[in-house]
Amino acid sequence: MIRAYLFALDPIDQQADAMRSHCGAQRVAYNWCLARVLANWAQRSAEQTYGLTGEQLTPWIDTSAYSLRKAWNAAKEQVAPWWAENSKEAYASGCANLSTALGNRKAGRARMPRFKSKRRARLTCRFTTGAFGLGPDCRHIRLPVIGLVRTHESTRELTRHVEAGTARVRSVTLSFQRGRWHGSFSVELPDPVPTERTRGRVVGVDLGIKSLAVLSTGETVPNPRHLDLAQKALRRTQRACARRRGPDRRTRVEPSNRWRKSRARADRIHTRVANLRRDAIHQLTTRLVREFDVIAIEDLAVANMIRNRRLARRIADASWAEIRRQLTYKTQRTGAELIVADRWFASSKTCSGCGAAKAKLALSERTHACVECGIVLDRDVNAAINLAALAADRAQLVREQPEGTGVRRPLADAVGPPREEPPAQPHRREMVSR
In the chain, the amino acid numbered 76 is K
* Domain identity same for 311 and 428: yes
**Does 244 fall in a domain?**
no
**Does 361 fall in a domain?**
yes
d(CA 101, CA 107): 10
Given a cut of 90, whether residue 85 has pLDDT beyond it is yes
Q: What is the mean pLDDT of the chain?
A: 86
Residue of 298, 102, 325, 278 lying closest to 216 (CA atoms): 298
In tens, the pLDDT along 222-248 reads 999 999 999 999 999 999 999 999 988
**Does 281 fall in a domain?**
no
Per-residue model confidence (pLDDT) at position 66: 95
d(CA 129, CA 127): 6
* Domain identity same for 138 and 212: no
Structural domain of residue 353, as residue ranges?
202-220+288-433
Per-residue model confidence (pLDDT) at position 412: 39
* Domain identity same for 215 and 143: no
d(CA 296, CA 331): 11
* Domain identity same for 160 and 216: no
In tens, the pLDDT along 169-181 reads 999 999 998 888 9
The set of residues, in sequence order, having a beta carbon less than 8 Å from that of 266 and lying 6+ positions away, is 234, 237, 238, 241
d(CA 323, CA 352): 24
Known catalytic residues?
206, 298, 380
**Does 232 fall in a domain?**
no
Mean pLDDT of 254-259: 93
* Domain identity same for 159 and 81: yes
Q: What percent of the chain has pLDDT over 70?
A: 90
Fill in the DSSP letter of residue 363: T
Given a cut of 50, whether residue 434 has pLDDT beyond it is no
**Does 250 fall in a domain?**
no
* Domain identity same for 91 and 171: yes
| Pairing mode of beta strands 147-150, 376-378 | unpaired
φ, ψ of residue 5 in degrees (nearest 5):
-115, 115
The set of residues, in sequence order, having a beta carbon less than 8 Å from that of 353 and lying 6+ positions away, is 370, 373, 375, 428, 429, 432
d(CA 300, CA 342): 9
Per-residue model confidence (pLDDT) at position 93: 95
Mean pLDDT of 73-91: 94
d(CA 212, CA 380): 11
In tens, the pLDDT along 319-373 reads 999 999 999 999 988 888 898 988 888 777 788 778 777 777 777 777 777 777 7
The set of residues, in sequence order, having a beta carbon less than 8 Å from that of 70 and lying 6+ positions away, is none
pLDDT band at 41 (very low <50, low <70, confident <90, very high): very high
* Domain identity same for 181 and 321: no
Q: Which of 86-100, 157-171, 387-401 has the lowest mean pLDDT?
A: 387-401
Residue of 357, 423, 348, 363 lying closest to 392 (CA atoms): 423
**Does 195 fall in a domain?**
no
Per-residue model confidence (pLDDT) at position 417: 39
* Domain identity same for 208 and 128: no
Q: How many domains does the chain have?
A: 2
* Domain identity same for 184 and 209: no
In tens, the pLDDT along 202-224 reads 899 999 998 999 998 888 999 99
CB atoms within 10 A of CB 101: 19
User: Which pTM value belongs to this model?
Assistant: 0.77
262 or 421, higher pLDDT:
262
Secondary structure class of 206 (helix, strand, coil): strand
* Domain identity same for 418 and 313: yes
55 or 277, higher pLDDT:
277
* Domain identity same for 209 and 101: no
